[in-house]
Amino acid sequence: MRVSLKDVAERAGVSIKTVSNVVNNYQHVTPAMREKVQRAIDELGYRPNLTARHLRKGRTGIIALAVPELGNPYFAELAGAVIDAAAEHDYTVLLDHTRGDREQEILVSQGFRARVIDGLILSPLELEADDLRARTDDVPLVLLGEREYDLPYDHIAIDNVAAARAAVRHLLGLGRTRIAFLGARTDTANRPAHLRLQGWREELTAAGQAAPDGLVGPVGGWDRADGAVAMARMLDAGMRPDAVFAYNDLVAIGAMRVLHERGLRVPWDVAVVGFDDIVEGHFGAVTLTTVAPDKHAIARLAVESVISRLSGAAAANGEPRGRELTAEFRLVERESTLGRR
């Protein structure tokens, strides 16, 4: 039988209101009373009815997270971090998979689950600003990733140009002079690729190094196979880099496989840096140097932004709609650039 507030109140010898105040962490409860009630809660194994709590506020207690590809370890790890962050606020996360398809992203952003969710965290790839301007749903929306829309929605990202420059700077510091970039796209929608390519060019230029087009490897996607194809194509064209900065870890892992097949040793012949710090990069035959975005900070900022908009705290504090929130990153140096020590 489920333990109720009344059961806890009777065990503690206090009113139901006092138990409710303790459960909801109201500050005006004295330490002695809080301890007394908490002891009764622990003894009876009481668990709050979170659904009822949210319903009393006119909410569902659910935040949706929509990402392009759950099969990509970065998004899977990010989803786990969002789930953890939401749980700290007694929220459940509903996961959605858009496949990076514009129509699916429009459907999600326009609130096809508006009656189910209290807020939406969306990582778009193809969504256009006009698609968001047409949005009529009033469910709080937070955008992730590097696409900039200049619209009244909170946006959370890392500085991709600075991160790319840090990766290239690391390779230059190791004496590498022919640094390739794998992961370029010819379209205009996928902004992270363009920003990371921009950082690659800026750092090489600042160091007085050439940035030849032949060392830019275009890809059709951002999985292991795409990295392998791009690396093979570059080598077949006679462009032999002594280092590779890849758009993400999956592209880097695919590239390293081809380098191995061609008899090129990582990092002695070709040093490799990835991006995202996925778990897979920790356990390869050669562990992967990578740019590590702070996924937990991204998740925390996203969840707190939704909750702040729901509670009205953001407006009460004079915070503008459309805040740009930046998470940190760090370069994690491993065997693919430093070798085994």
Query: Tens digits of per-residue pLDDT, 135-150?
Result: 887 889 999 987 778 8
For residue 246, the Cα-to-chain-centroid distance in whole angstroms is: 18
Band the pLDDT of 25: cuts 50, 70, 90: low
Averaged pLDDT for residues 160-183: 97
Distances (CA, A) of 140 to 1, 89, 148, 153, 332: 37, 16, 18, 8, 34
Residue 115 has a pLDDT of 72
Residue 183 has a pLDDT of 93
Residue 92 has a pLDDT of 92
Q: What is the DSSP letter of 2?
A: -
Question: Is there a contact between 332 and 289 (Cβ–Cβ < 8 Å)?
Answer: yes
The more confidently predicted of residues 18 and 2 is: 18
CA dist 74 and 72 (Å) reads 5
Band the pLDDT of 212: cuts 50, 70, 90: very high
Band the pLDDT of 128: cuts 50, 70, 90: confident
Q: Is the pLDDT of residue 40 over 90?
A: no
Residue 59 has a pLDDT of 62
Residue 256 has a pLDDT of 98
Question: Is there a contact between 322 and 309 (Cβ–Cβ < 8 Å)?
Answer: no
Identify the CA nearest to 308 among candidates 29, 108, 63.
63
**Which tens digits make up the pLDDT trace of 95-105?**
999 988 999 99
Identify the CA nearest to 227 among candidates 239, 235, 238, 219.
219
- Helices 160-173 & 191-206, crossing angle to 10 degrees? 40
Residue 35 has a pLDDT of 84
Question: Is there a contact between 257 and 224 (Cβ–Cβ < 8 Å)?
Answer: yes
Residue 200 has a pLDDT of 97
Q: Is the pLDDT of residue 129 over 70?
A: yes
Averaged pLDDT for residues 250-257: 98
Residue 292 has a pLDDT of 98
Q: What proportion of the chain, given as a percentage, has pLDDT over 90?
A: 59
Averaged pLDDT for residues 258-277: 98
- Dihedral pair phi/psi, residue 205, rounded to 5°: -65, -40
Q: Is the pLDDT of residue 299 over 80?
A: yes
End-to-end CA distance of the chain: 59
Q: What is the mean pLDDT of the chain?
A: 88
Question: Is there a contact between 193 and 218 (Cβ–Cβ < 8 Å)?
Answer: no
Residue 340 has a pLDDT of 83
pTM recorded for the entire structure: 0.80
Q: Is the pLDDT of residue 29 over 90?
A: no
Residue 283, classified by CB atoms within 10 Å of its CB into exposed (0-12), middle (13-18) or buried (19+), is exposed
Element (H, E) at 155: strand 154-157
Residue 175, classified by CB atoms within 10 Å of its CB into exposed (0-12), middle (13-18) or buried (19+), is exposed
**What domains are defined for the chain?**
1-40 (1.10.260.40), 57-158+295-327 (3.40.50.2300), 160-293 (3.40.50.2300)
Averaged pLDDT for residues 74-85: 95
Q: Is the pLDDT of residue 167 over 90?
A: yes
Residue 287, classified by CB atoms within 10 Å of its CB into exposed (0-12), middle (13-18) or buried (19+), is middle
Give all strands of the β-sheet with 329-332 in edge-to-edge order: 216-218, 179-184, 243-246, 271-275, 289-293, 329-332
